[in-house]
Structure 1
Amino acid sequence: MSGDLFALAMAATGASGALVVRESWLGPSFAGIAGLNAWMVWQVLRGPALPRVRGLPRDVAWARRLLYAGIAADWVIWELLELLSRPGVTVASRVMWLATVYLLLRAVPGVSARFRAAALALCLIGGLVRSMMAFLGFGPPALTLLWLAVSGCTVMILIAQRRDGRWSRATIGTGWISLAPLLFLVLPDEEIMFHGAGLVLSAVDVAGTVWLARTAHELAVEAVEPVEPVDAGMPAAAAGPRLLLAGALVLPLAAVGSEEAARFSFSAACDAAAPPYAQVAAQDREQAFLCRARRGMFPAELPDQRILGYGARLCALPGAGERQALLRRVDGAGEEDEMSDALEFLCPQVIAVRRADRAREQAEYERRRARTEAAWNARLAKINARCADPWPKLPGRRQGTSAYMLFEGGGYYLHDDRDHDGGPAADPSEAIDDGFIDAAGSSAAITTYGSNEPMCLTVKAYRAAPPLRLEGWDKVVEVGLVSRNGRLIVPPYPEGGDAGAIRPLPNLAIAGPGRYRVRFYARWSEQDQDDFDVPAEEHLIVVYPGRSSKQVIHRPWR
């Protein structure tokens, strides 16, 4: 019977049965449903309300058996058989319910034969319509007829029980509450689907099962003229009214939707300069949290209580990634430090532990970073120690020697690092095509034999052209460059960078702004297969003032 009412309500509203509930309702809603289900199981299994009368009439005994069998079928049997044939289950359950109603009405002596016939006819019509709908589907006329038949049949059974003295007020009151799913017919779809009323009504649907169980229990009582039987664990005078009062309080709440606009719990204004946690009294900490949380962490339209609920969840989530995911789900945002400053007012002990953990993690990170940096610096110092001046007996006015760390593809620059006027610049691809160098304007791009490894680089600046000294070099090329700012340098190795001279090398524009001749020397050797930090390539850069821009190859690549 209760399944008829609930199916009718879901069909009439077009609901799919998958009710959408606001996130903040999930915990309390599921807890309430669990409690209702536990109460339902207890009511079914607790047995007759009063001592059983020996030698029950045949109609009464079979009515009780069918009532209990119907409950068991609703719980288990129909669910399993629906996998084979859902329409068949519908027909079988309607036949079983009609037989139950027939025997139940025969067991009630306080009603007339016409009353029984009318009630049975309504149940029969409801069963036929429901069976036809299982094969042909739902339609407005069928829904109207089903609503009239099911509700009429249920109401007439309740009236018959009221006239019979064996059923308690609590049982009859539960039967009236079982009609609650019919409220689906008057509620707007959005109330059912989005404001949680559907969840409340589906939970109240358990009243139908309880009504049938209590009807079967108390049917074992001897039929007498109307009296008030004592309900188990509750005085007869109080049992029915209390249950009806509870239903009267619960059912209106089902039709109440959530607030459309935020209603804030705190009206006090938030200070621009919020005081720290230690200066806020215990009774003001929720307000202090809300003031901070509303500064970008949560959308402005969220009511205070929802923000407090999300804050409690943020306190409970152990990982920063999980906390950020929760904020994103509610269209919020916030850095971890900002979040901790706000949550401190809700869960100070949790935030204290998190901050201590973060401090330990940061300290450990700094220790690892320091160890890594120290190991890297030691490696660079070792590589640098392997590079020496190839012309020790011909010192320049400015000079320096350093290991140069080559990146992917190799190569390096000599340029005026302050010349940013968009003039001509050297092109590494042109240097590759040339086989060694490309010079343009105030820069030169030089290719290297190796890449992703260190090489040795020496730079020397002279007032005049030094001796050529070709012996021992594989490639020597001279070009002309212009320094507009009195700067010609090799880029240093940047912190965290990929390429550059490990030791700072001097500015080679010894005469200030003007034209210079630059001579590039290069040679290479076999790579040490046991130690790849040993430089296998060496370059020498010689710079002196000179006006010519012509490229001269003193020794071709060999």
Structure 2
Amino acid sequence: MPRRLSAALWACALTGAIMAFALPWLFLPEGLGWGAFGFKNCVGNDLSSDIYHLVFPLYYVPPFGYGALPFVGLGLLAWLACARRRRPGLGRWIVWTLLLPQMFLNAYQPPLFAMDMVLEPSCLEWWGGWHVVWWTVGHDVLELVASTLALLAVRTSAPRLPRGPVVAALVVVLALTPAADATRGGKVTVPDWEECHGAVRQGYSEEDWRFLCEARDSLMDEPGTRMPDGRLFAYGRHLCRLVEKGGRLPDARNGDEFDVARALPANCPALARVNERNQAELKREEEEYYARRRAECAALPRHKPRTKPVRQATTHMSVEFYALDTSEEGFDGGVSEELGSGDEVMVAVPGNLAFHTLTEMGLLCVTGESYRRRPPVETEGWDVVAEIGYRSPTGVLEISDGSRALPDLAVGGPGHYRVRVHQRELGVDHDREEPQASEEWLIMVYPGREKEPRTYVKGR
């Protein structure tokens, strides 16, 4: 190769490497970053992320952390030294050895980005937009050009445009163009609520129509609503195959993969079976858990009433925010807000009843007793004993935490009652992982017109 041409190529290579090194230090926006949400079939971006995680440790090796500049500079020095000793072959070998590893770090992002732009232009947002692509892919291209010029500078003959790579690139582009048209195109069906709850649209099976409705409802973001039906069904089939292989849906990499999976049982029998099995397992575990809680409450010393109650029952309940709020059917509840700072043990309005708890949140063992006349007051062993007047509009008072309830304690039907509550704290083993009952309650309900609250024991 003529010396002048070689020198010009080296000058261009060194200039490009210096620009690639200096531009980020001088002009890179502070705090540059980006994020993208939703589902996208951006194969190039996915591969780029996978490769980056593999090669990322190399950036902590000092020469690689500074880009192509150290390698181009060292290559030029080695080339000049070997040329001075009339050993151009050794110089050429050293330059190639220095530049090829760095070129690999620069070479994977540009073609993967180009592939995504051909197959799915909207993948640009997954690459961060043009303002980010310039500092990532563009920077790689600049360093790649600098390294390529350095390799051309050490060729034995004058550089010419290689026909093989050009022909291969044209073939790839031509082959991808129909795929890109097919991928971008296709019918996009976004059914409205009435269509999804009516008859199946002609041309769809019942399973596919249900899947389409539920998937569109889950993918409420703009890219999700624009996804062609064919791609959406293809992705659903892909997830279904994963279920058939592994017996479960793999962990989703982003939220919208999970959203699509929610619609999947509509046309994926494998996932429907998995969900049924999981639901049965959860139900079994829940029943076992509640059985242990009932056994824990049943193991406490049983209250021995001094007068015989009409009804007596024990169950466990959950409370939070220092309150148990219960209401009769047709009433909204919410009177626990009137408990204030905790001076009141109970608050009652017609149809609604709220109790103040001793602990902020936890489990209770609650025994309910109903009487036809006023029972004797029992205070021994209790931290709190208080009662309040209450009017039952429906005649059905089932004290409940929303999940579990005592039987009806209003034995006289609609009318006026007195509600007496006894509370005491239970010892809790804090080393146990499973929740334990932290309080025991005894609630007595009997007819009575007195409205004023009474406190017999105030342990707060």
TM-score (norm 1): 0.41
